[in-house]
Amino acid sequence: MVTQTVLIFSVLFGLALSAHSSPSGGMLIPDIVNRLWINSDINDDSHLSETEFFREFIDNFDHDGSRSVSENEFVHQWGHNYNEHRDVTLHVFQHFDLDGDNMLSQADLSRLFHHMDYNTDNQISKAEFTTLMAYIFGRLPYD
Binding site for Ca ion (CB under 5 A): 41, 43, 45, 47, 97, 99, 101, 103, 105, 108, 117, 119, 121, 123
Q: Which is nearer to Ca ion, 10 or 105 (CB)?
A: 105
DSSP 22: B
The sign of the dihedral angle between the CA atoms of 120, 122, 128, 132 is: positive
Q: Which is nearer to Ca ion, 83 or 110 (CB)?
A: 110
Q: Whole-number minimum distance, CB 49 to Ca ion, in Å?
A: 6
Question: Do residues 57 and 48 lie in contact, with contact meaning Cβ atoms separated by under 8 Å?
Answer: no
Q: Which is nearer to Ca ion, 56 or 117 (CB)?
A: 117
Q: Whole-number minimum distance, CB 62 to Ca ion, in Å?
A: 13
Q: Whole-number minimum distance, CB 1 to Ca ion, in Å?
A: 30
Q: Judge residue 84's burial from the number of C-beta atoms within 10 Å of its C-beta, 0-12 exposed, 13-18 middle, 19 or more buried.
A: buried
**For residue 124, what are the β-bridge partners?**
48
